[in-house]
Structure 1
Amino acid sequence: MRTNIQGLMNYKKFVFLVLLLFLAPNLADAQCAMCRAVLESEEGMTTAKGINDGIVYLMAIPYILVGVLFFFVYRKMKSPKV
């Protein structure tokens, strides 16, 4: 009986997470329209350049962190065993 209750709780958590993953992009998409409106309305392209630079930084940082992590794991695996 107890395993059925735990299984039901795990199922509810799973369904909640799946729904959250499907709804989260819709919430984040609302911000893109605002950025697009600001960028299209300005004559000078300084704001657009700033937004593009921010996007590049946000994309690059996770790749750099993963690369550093793999470097340390590789170095740890190649070190001589004591």
Structure 2
Amino acid sequence: MKKILFTITFILTAISSNAQCAMCRAALESNDSGIKPEAVNDGIVYLMIFPYLIVALIGYAVYKLRTKKPKAALTE
């Protein structure tokens, strides 16, 4: 399990993302826009983090619920 987690972490941190859709690229390549392409690219990558974070939190919650030790049954 630790090897898999390490591999996934390494892959996600080692990949340099250059996330830009075709419409953003076309808008930024025009000379009249005053927006720097690097700033837009950083914003896209920043927004891309949240879906992965939500999936990770849900996965962690499911993991904790499945590995939870059952409480001793109260007998009356």
TM-score (norm 1): 0.47
In the alignment, which residue of structure 2 is the partner of 1:20?
A: none
Greater helix share, structure number: 1
Identity among equivalent positions (%) equals: 39
Between the aligned partners of 2:52 and 2:26, the Cα distance in structure 1 is 29
- Alignment: residue pair count: 51
| 1:26-71 deviation per Cα after TM superposition (whole angstroms, max 9, x unaligned) | xxxxx943x33331134xx962112111221222210111001111
Larger Rg: 1
What is the RMSD of the two structures over their aligned residues, measured on CA atoms? Answer: 2.8
Structure 2 unaligned regions, length at least 5? 1-20, 72-76
Please say if 1:79 is aligned against 2:47. no
User: How is 1:1-82 mapped onto 2 (pairs within 5 angstroms)?
Assistant: 32-33=22-23, 35-42=24-31, 47-82=36-71
Which ranges of 4 or more aligned residues in structure 1 deviate by more than 2 Å?
35-38
Q: Which has the higher contact order (CA 8 A, sep 6+)?
A: 2
In the superposition, the TM-score normalised over structure 2's length comes to 0.50
